[in-house]
Every structure is written in C-alpha cells, then in structure tokens.
Amino acid sequence: MTTRKEKIIIGNLKMNGSLDFYSSYFNDVKENLKNLNNVLIGLCVPYPYLFKAEEILKNSNIGWGSQNVAKFLSGAYTGEVSAGMLKDFLSLYVIVGHSERNTAYCESDENIADKFKIIKDQGMMPILCVGETLIEREAGIMETVVESQLKAIIERYGAKTFDDTIIAYEPIWAIGSDMAATPAQTNKMCKFIRNKINKNITNEVKNLKIIYGGSVNTKNALQLFALESVDGGLIGRASLDVSEFVSICKAATSVTKK
C-alpha cells in the first residue's frame, strides 16, 4: 500500500501511438525511471497495447492500465471492455470520467459512479477525473460543480469507497490548452475535494491520492507538485515524450518528503 507522502504520476497517453511506438516507449520509460523509487508511476494506454505494457513493464517500478472500462462485468455490450479483461493483462490503474469521454460519449455521473465501483471491486485503482468548464469557473461555481461530481459516487456507494483510490482534479479549460491552473487554484480545489470527502465520515478516507491534471509540463511540474494538497499529476501530452515524462517524474521525487 502507498503512503500519503509518496507522489504519484500517471501518464494518460490518450488515443496516441502504435505497436512500434509502445514497443520502444515502454522500454525507454522503464530504463530511464528504473532508479526512481520514491514515486509511484503509471501509464494509461489504449486497450490494444496493454499486452505490450505487461510484457515490457512487468517486474519494473511502473504500473499500467487503461483509460476507460465497461460498467458491466460481461455480456451483450458490443464494443465494451470489462474490468476482468483489463485484469487479464495485470492492469492496475483505470481512468474514469475523463472530460474528453464525458463530452464525446455523453458519460453520465451515474455511469461514472458504477464504473468507479466496479474498478475497485475488481481490485484495481480508479483514477476519477473531476473538474469544471471555463464558464463554470468564471461564474464562480467550480466548487459546486466538483462537489456534485463527487456526490454522485458518495450518494451511491458512500465516502469510504474513496479508500485506496485516486482523484484527478482536471479543470476542463486547462486540458490540452497550455494554460495550467495556478498553484493557488489547484491547492484550493484539492483541499476542497479532500474536505468534502471526509466531511461526513468519522474515519478519514485511507490512501486517497488527489492529483492535478491539465497542461502539466516540465516548467510547471515542480511548483504544482510541491503543494501540500497535491499528491501528484495526470499527464497528457507531456507523457508522450519520454524525456519530458521522465523529468516530470523526477520533479515529483524531488518534492517528496522523506
């Protein structure tokens, strides 16, 4: 099990790459990060390359997983991939509720909650994405929006379902935009998320990592990860470049308190 002080960096490779790309990418990342041991690292890749991740990354310090999962365990759901199938390739992480999916595939909060639960029940670690649009931030309702995203899970499954999970605060306006949230905005929202989850329970959630995603790069990583409330990052574009991803992981280790 992980401890609070250990940062976690997850690469979200999105719908990029090819078999050739991943064959060298996994080897390069593994080689360059092999001595980094006070940070958790995961790579969420397209489904067809999970087998390559397993082949190359097993017995390394890097975990792998996917960017979505079906909300059912099996059956007549054409085109879907179940949690059990992900486990066949020893996947550890599953991104759920990413705004790109919510926009393009109309993912509802209820679907996201069910997926979150199924990932946990199958012994994998959900990475729940939450965040507001620019219009919502400008209207000053970003906390209400994020709270309602969390509530969809809390009301269905209870706040303790966040034990051993990851929440990525990803303001939608910051994703793929070169306009990361400021450290002050990030700190405030990450604290807000932790407080909301712990609010109505007597025992605080255990091993919940709250990370930031949205235009993290080598220039802003250190400042964002140094924040007390931020347990790491979800890295999109910058994860596609091995040297950038490696530098970002190193930034996370350099701010980890011993």
Burial class (CB in 10 A: 0-12, 13-18, 19+), 8: buried
User: How many angstroms separate the Cα of 20 from the Cα of each of 15, 16, 17, 245?
Assistant: 14, 12, 8, 19
Is 170 a known active-site residue?
Answer: yes
Q: Is 176 in the site for ligand PGA (CB under 6 A)?
A: yes
Q: Is 63 in the site for ligand PGA (CB under 6 A)?
A: no
Contact predicate 103/143, CB 8 Å: no
Q: Is 235 in the site for ligand PGA (CB under 6 A)?
A: yes
Distance of closest approach, residue 59 Cβ to ligand PGA, in angstroms: 27
Say how far apart CA 30 and CA 135 lie, in whole Å: 40
Contact predicate 99/129, CB 8 Å: yes
Q: Which is nearer to ligand PGA, 156 or 250 (CB)?
A: 250
Q: Which is nearer to ligand PGA, 91 or 220 (CB)?
A: 220
Q: Is 215 in the site for ligand PGA (CB under 6 A)?
A: yes
Q: Is 102 in the site for ligand PGA (CB under 6 A)?
A: no
Say how far apart CA 29 and CA 116 lie, in whole Å: 28
Q: Is 166 in the site for ligand PGA (CB under 6 A)?
A: no
Q: Is 65 in the site for ligand PGA (CB under 6 A)?
A: no
Local structure of 13: helix, strand or coil: coil
Is 98 a known active-site residue?
Answer: yes
Spell out, one character per residue from 12 to 51, where the chain touches ligand PGA: x when CB under 6 A holds, - when not.
x---------------------------------------
Q: Which of 6, 98, 100, 107 is catalytic?
A: 98
Q: Is 211 in the site for ligand PGA (CB under 6 A)?
A: no
Contact predicate 183/219, CB 8 Å: no
Distance of closest approach, residue 215 Cβ to ligand PGA, in angstroms: 4
Half-sphere exposure of 180 (CA within 13 A, CB side): 25
Residues that bind ligand PGA (CB under 6 A): 12, 170, 175-176, 213-216, 234-238
Which are the catalytic amino acids?
98, 170
